[in-house]
């Protein structure tokens, strides 16, 4: 409660298709029917063309609304696995979360990852079981699936009366009253529990009271003594359990007809803390720990959690106020850049619309226009009381695609960098091994959506291709060769003579040059020239034109000419000696190997293991997790590039993985031969100069 007003700031998360956006829209209809979109529509929130095309959210959608004198700030989160990095950011700036679960699909359909993020955040939460009016809805089956898939105790707060098209209402287990549809007036009215459901409701009420009592010692004592708990006491115990994540309370709703929507709103008021209960922790400019209370009279502090760049409006930043009060014409500090920002006006978001507000305090989400140098995760604070909040965690970006354009590389890079400002879970970087420009992200869909946005917002056509694996070459045995460069062109000629031995080194040890010349057969000033020649030649190996690594080059003998020897002549001689010797040193092709960590529900482990084996992966181990199995494996990069799409297909979207570079291994001969033949056909392999 800020300035005596009830404020709740919460996230709504769950699998795509579980009804997140529909629930937010139902809240808006409850708050103000004139501002909400038509029943069943999510057009106000999923407003971008890419979202309309796919019919689900692809980014965070903050929304503010008032109801009954209370102020609510909701952040509708994407549910598709490739966009879950933003869910972490939303949880960091909100005080509670609603997990939506479909009564049709249950919790197994990609809800596990969202719940993992919720559990890691420590935020209090409850679930809303939606789509109860769907013809295939099954509340009992979906509730059991919540416990089985999420490995958490599910405690119903409501029971549906009927199911599917026959849905008539719900039983509120707190008040022990039914909410049924009055067809005459077209509204939900309170009534007695249907006779056929009384025994089921009593049993569910007992389980609810027990769960509440177990989370408060005082309540547990009363319960064990046989003293009935009041509704307020039950709610107190439920709030304590939600805060500790001891169970997952499950409410019922059918957002389209409005069933359970008001009840869900009342629950979040009672189960989630207000902003005044959350002290914000950070550090000062010297790294010392600081804590600010969630008070409107404390120094101002907020955090940017979303950025968009509009073609007409320019830069738009969304900020959560944690402490203090933001007022128009305020000057705030960005500790990251040590710069100040003038906040002339700010707004409250209302879907695709905004409304200017005169001041905002703790718990509020505001829209700031045209900040000079802020980015997602930045702290904005009182310049006289600087504090730096923890930045958002950088995600592992397991999927990469090579970016190709038709002669518009600079324009494409500029467009992608703007999109990365909006979505820091993306990364654009040039591969040092292959020279390709790589766009990295959370999944194939993530990158494809980014390319669509680049086309729509910046007029840039980008073609995606699998990245070229950064193959290398190395030697497996010692060899020796002479490189003799002699040219006579009239006047001074060119003469350099170098005898070089090559010796293999262990994987990852790199290149080393050793000067073993004795007796001055090569003058000291020309020895670095031989090394320079070898370094220049090792960039393109004899097999497929890839760099040669992990070997020792020893200069053991040579000769020179008093007049004709030069730096250039010995560079060429060193290069020739290397190219001849490497052919005799039994060269092999090396491929990059990636470390995979794959998290899947138990039901899909067999399919995932079979697929990994088909990719030449080596499984390093498996271990159980709270909600499935973690598989660790080493997989050749060439085989892992398509893993994202295949894993989603194998696990119905429930599996996810991280990937990072591990080491290099020899390419199996049959595969190496195909790579070599292709590279030679492309003209990538050069011969030895004579």
pLDDT of residue 44: 52
Number of neighbouring beta carbons within 10 Å of residue 196 = 8
Residue 212: closest CA among 301, 333, 140, 126 = 126
> Is 328:346 a contact under the CB 8 Å cutoff?
yes
Residue 80: closest CA among 98, 55, 61 = 55
pLDDT surpasses 50 at 690: no
Residue 93: closest CA among 70, 64, 62 = 62
Angle at 569 (CA atoms; ends 564, 573), nearest 5 degrees: 130
Tens of pLDDT, residue by residue over 410-463, are 889 999 999 999 999 999 999 988 889 999 999 999 999 999 999 998 899 999
CA distance 641 to 639: 6
Tens of pLDDT, residue by residue over 603-617, are 899 999 999 999 999
Set out the domains of the chain in order of their start, with CATH numbers: 7-275 (3.40.50.300), 280-382 (2.40.30.10), 399-465 (3.30.70.870), 472-585 (3.30.230.10), 590-673 (3.30.70.240)
Tens of pLDDT, residue by residue over 266-279, are 999 999 999 999 99
In order, the DSSP letters of 105-169 are TBSTTTHHHHHHHHHHHT--EEEEEE-TTSTT--HHHHHHHHHHHH-S-EEESEEEES-GGG--E
CA distance 352 to 37: 11
**What is the SS3 assignment for 21-59?**
HHHHHHHHHHHCCCCCCCCCCCCCCCCCHHHHHHCCCCC
Lowest mean pLDDT among 38-47, 119-128, 562-571: 38-47
For residue 353, name the pLDDT band (cuts at 50, 70, 90).
low
For residue 160, with 0-12 CB atoms within 10 Å meaning exposed, 13-18 middle and 19 or more buried, which class applies? buried
pLDDT surpasses 90 at 203: yes
For residue 33, name the pLDDT band (cuts at 50, 70, 90).
low
Tens of pLDDT, residue by residue over 62-94, are 999 999 899 999 999 998 878 888 999 999 999
Handedness of CA 677, 679, 683, 687 (dihedral sign): negative
Token pair in block for residue 161: 């009366």
Cα dist. 207→153, 183, 202, 253 in Å?
11, 32, 9, 20
Tens of pLDDT, residue by residue over 232-248, are 999 999 999 999 998 99
Q: What percent of the chain has pLDDT over 70?
A: 95
């Amino acid at each position: 409660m800020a300035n005596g007003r009830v404020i709740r700031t919460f996230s709504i998360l769950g699998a795509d298709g579980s009804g997140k956006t529909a629930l937010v829209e139902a809240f808006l209809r409850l708050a103000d029917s004139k501002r909400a979109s038509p029943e069943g529509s999510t057009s106000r929130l999923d407003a971008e063309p890419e979202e309309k095309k796919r019919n689900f959210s692809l980014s965070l959608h903050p929304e503010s609304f008032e109801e009954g004198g209370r102020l609510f700030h909701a952040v509708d989160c994407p549910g598709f696995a490739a966009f879950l990095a933003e869910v972490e950011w939303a949880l960091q700036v909100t005080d509670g979360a609603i997990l939506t679960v479909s009564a049709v699909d249950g919790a197994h359909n990609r809800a596990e990852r969202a719940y993992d993020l919720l559990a890691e955040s420590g935020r209090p939460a409850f679930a809303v079981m939606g789509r109860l009016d769907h013809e295939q809805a099954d509340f009992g089956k979906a509730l059991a699936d919540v416990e089985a898939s999420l490995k958490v105790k599910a405690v119903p707060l409501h029971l549906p009366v009927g199911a599917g098209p026959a849905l008539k209402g719900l039983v509120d287990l707190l008040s022990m009253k039914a909410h049924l549809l009055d067809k005459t007036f077209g509204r939900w009215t309170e009534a007695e529990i249907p006779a056929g459901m009384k025994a089921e409701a009593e049993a569910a009420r007992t389980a609810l009271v027990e769960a509440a009592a177990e989370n408060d010692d005082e309540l547990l004592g009363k319960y064990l003594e046989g003293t009935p708990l009041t509704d307020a006491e039950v709610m107190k115990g439920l709030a304590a359990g939600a805060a500790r994540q001891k169970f997952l309370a499950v409410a019922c709703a059918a957002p389209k007809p409005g069933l359970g929507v008001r009840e869900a709103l009342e629950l979040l008021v009672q189960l989630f803390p207000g902003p005044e209960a959350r002290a914000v922790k950070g550090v000062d400019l010297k790294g010392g720990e600081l804590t600010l209370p969630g008070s409107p009279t404390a120094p101002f502090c907020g955090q940017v959690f979303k950025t968009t760049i509009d073609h007409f409006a320019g830069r738009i930043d969304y900020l959560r106020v944690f402490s203090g009060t933001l007022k128009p014409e305020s000057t705030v500090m960005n500790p990251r850049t040590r710069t100040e920002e003038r906040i002339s006006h700010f707004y409250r978001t209302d879907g695709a619309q905004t409304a200017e507000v005169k001041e905002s305090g703790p718990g509020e989400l505001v829209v700031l226009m045209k900040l000079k140098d802020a980015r997602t995760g930045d702290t904005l604070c009182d310049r006289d009381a600087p504090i730096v909040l923890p930045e958002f965690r950088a995600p592992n970006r397991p999927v990469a695609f090579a970016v190709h354009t038709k002669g518009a590389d600079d324009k494409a890079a500029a467009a992608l960098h703007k999109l990365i400002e909006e979505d820091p879970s993306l990364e654009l970087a040039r591969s040092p091994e292959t020279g390709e420009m790589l766009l990295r992200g959370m999944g194939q869909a993530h990158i494809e959506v980014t390319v669509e946005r680049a086309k729509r917002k910046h007029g840039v056509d980008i073609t995606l291709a699998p990245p070229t694996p950064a193959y290398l070459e190395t030697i497996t045995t010692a060899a020796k060769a002479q490189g003799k460069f002699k040219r006579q062109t009239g006047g001074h000629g060119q003469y350099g003579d170098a005898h070089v031995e090559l010796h293999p080194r262990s994987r990852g040890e790199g290149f080393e040059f050793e000067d073993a010349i004795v007796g001055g057969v090569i003058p000291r000033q020309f020895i670095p020239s031989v090394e320079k020649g070898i370094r220049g030649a090792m960039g393109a190996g004899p097999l497929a034109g890839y760099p040669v690594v992990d070997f020792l080059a020893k200069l053991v003998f040579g000769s020179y000419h008093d007049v004709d020897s030069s730096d250039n002549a010995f560079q060429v001689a060193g290069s020739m000696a290397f190219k001849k010797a490497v052919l005799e040193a039994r060269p092999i092709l090396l491929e990059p190997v990636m470390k995979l960590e794959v998290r899947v529900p138990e039901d899909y482990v067999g399919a995932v293991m079979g697929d990994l084996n088909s990719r030449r992966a080596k499984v390093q181990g498996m271990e159980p997790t709270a909600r499935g199995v973690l598989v660790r494996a080493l997989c050749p990069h060439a085989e892992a590039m398509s893993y994202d799409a295949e894993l989603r297909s194998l696990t119905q979207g429930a599996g996810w993985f991280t990937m990072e570079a591990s080491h290099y291994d020899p390419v199996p001969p049959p595969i190496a031969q195909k790579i070599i033949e292709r590279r030679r056909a492309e003209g990538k392999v050069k011969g030895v100069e004579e």
